[in-house]
Each structure stands twice: as C-alpha cells, then as structure tokens.
Amino acid sequence: MLINELSKRTGVPIPTLRYYENYGLFKGMTDGKIKTNNYKDYDESIVEKIEMIKGAKEAGFTLSEIKNLIDSWFNKRLSKEKKITVVYSKITEIDNKIRQLNKVRKLLSECIVDIEKGNC
C-alpha cells in the first residue's frame, strides 16, 4: 500500500509516518525494476509495527527507546539471550510505570475525599 493508505489504516498523519520512517522505525520498499516512480510500498507487517509504535508511545516510551526495541527485535545477529534481556528490561520499566501511576492515582483519590470534606 502507499503512504496515504498506510496513514488511513493506522490513523497516523503522513508527515509523522515519514518522520518515523526517516527516524529508522520502519522502511518502505521502492522497487526500481518494476516501477516508474519512487513511491514506497508498505505491507501489512508495517501496519502492525506502527500499531506497536503507537502503543509504546501511549505507554510513554520515547522514539529512541522504541527504536532500540525494534532494532533488537528484528536484528538477526543478536542472540536469543540478548533479545530477551532487552525485552525484559522494557517489561520491568512498564511495571515501574504502572506502579508510579497507581501511586498518583491513590494521591488523587485521597484528594477527592479531601475536597468532599472541604479541605484544600
């Protein structure tokens, strides 16, 4: 599919997709032998990749962290153990973030009680 469809499928604006591609998060194919243009073609797997990127971003990861994750994910030369280490460390980060969010959530709940009591 072309970038327009990719944008519609994922809900990510075209300039952002180009920015991501340029950043190295994924890569469209240009087949110089077949096509007269240099339009890039994106396949289904890239839609999935972008969904992953969106999820990770909403979860608060930076593009650079996401790039590291994707790189180790798809790097064939990396050993199983290395890959697993990278992914586990992200899982640990996620657990920390969830813990942090629950802490703030608790603070806010307590605040509701205070407001209802008329304090603060």
Partner DNA sequence: ATAAAGTATAAACCATACTTCATACTTTGT
Partner DNA sequence: ACAAAGTATGAAGTATGGTTTATACTTTAT
Report the interface residues with a second copy, using CB under 8 A.
52, 55-56, 58-60, 73-74, 80, 83-84, 87-88, 90-91, 94-95, 97-98, 100-105, 107-109, 111-112, 115-116, 118, 120
Q: Phi then psi for 29, rounded to 5 degrees?
A: -100, 135
Q: Which is nearer to a second copy, 77 or 80 (CB)?
A: 80
Stretch that binds DNA, among 17-25, 44-52, 68-76, 107-115 (CB under 7 A): 17-25
Q: Which is nearer to a second copy, 34 or 104 (CB)?
A: 104
Q: Does residue 120 sit in helix, strand or coil?
A: coil
Alpha-carbon distance 38 to 36, whole Å? 7
Q: How far is CA 30 from CA 16, 17, 35, 80, in A?
A: 19, 16, 8, 31
